[in-house]
Amino acid sequence: MLKKTAINKISELAAVLMEKGTLLAPVKEAAGFNFREISDAGQVNLHFHNTIISPKSAFFPQMEDFVRYQTGKSILEAAPVELNLKPVFLFGVRPCDVKSFEIMDIHFSGTGAVDPYWKKRREAATIFGHAFDLNEAADPAEFYHTLGIGAADPQGSDIFMVTKDNDLLFKSITPKGKKLLEELTMLTEASAGDRKYFEDYIARGHDYKTRFASVEPKAIATEFESIFDNREFWKNVSNACLSCGVCTFVCPTCYCFDICDETLFNKGTRRRVWDACMFTDFTLEASGHNPRTNVYQRLRQKICHKYSFSIRKYGVISCVGCGRCTRYCPVNIDIFSIVEQAVKAKWYKRL
Q: Rule CB under 8 A: which of 240-299 touch another protein?
A: 240, 242-246, 248-250, 255-268, 270-277, 279-288, 291-292, 295, 297
Interface residues for another protein in 94-113 (CB under 8 A)? 107-108, 111-113
**Cα three-residue angle 34-280-235, rounded to 5 degrees:** 95
Please give the full DSSP string across 34-100, using - where no structure is assigned.
EEEE-SSGGG-----S--SS-GGGGTS-SEEEEEEEETTS-GGG-EEPP--PPPEEEEEE-HHHHHH
What residues from 1 to 60 belong to the interface with another protein (CB under 8 A)? 29-32, 52-53
Instruction: Find the binding residues for another protein in span 205-234 (CB under 8 A).
Output: 228-229
CB of 40 to another protein, least distance (A): 16
Residue number with CB closer to another protein (42 or 140): 140
Spatial contact of 80 and 65, defined as CB atoms under 8 Å apart: no
Q: For another protein, which is the closer residue by CB, 165 or 281?
A: 281
Mention every residue, 6+ apart, whose C-beta is less than 8 A from residue 242: 330, 331
Which of 208, 274 has the CB closer to another protein?
A: 274
Question: Binding residues for another protein, how many (CB under 8 A)?
Answer: 97
| List 42, 80, 195, 199, residue binding another protein (CB under 8 A) | 80
Asked if residue 83 binds another protein (CB under 8 A), the reply is yes
Measured from the CB atom, the residue of 192 and 286 that comes closer to another protein is 286
The binder of another protein chosen from 82, 175, 185, 351 (CB under 8 A): 82
- CA-wise closest residue to 176 among 199, 163, 192, 158: 158
CB of 309 to another protein, least distance (A): 4
Name residues contacting another protein, limited to 135-164 (CB under 8 A).
140-141
Going from the C-alpha of 340 to that of each of 75, 155, 224, the distances in angstroms are 52, 27, 11
191 near another protein (CB under 8 A): no
> Closest Cα to residue 257, out of 282, 231, 224, 239?
282
Under the criterion CB under 8 A, does residue 239 sit at the interface with another protein?
Answer: yes
- Give CA–CA dist 173/160, Å, rounded: 7
Chain-centroid distance of CA 46 in Å reads 18
Residue among 190 and 333 whose Cβ is closer to another protein: 333
Could you tell me the smallest distance in angstroms from the CB atom of residue 315 to another protein? 11
Asked if residue 69 binds another protein (CB under 8 A), the reply is yes
**Measured distance between the N- and C-terminal CA atoms of the chain, rounded to whole angstroms:** 59
Site for another protein in 303-322 (CB under 8 A): 304-305, 308-310, 312-313
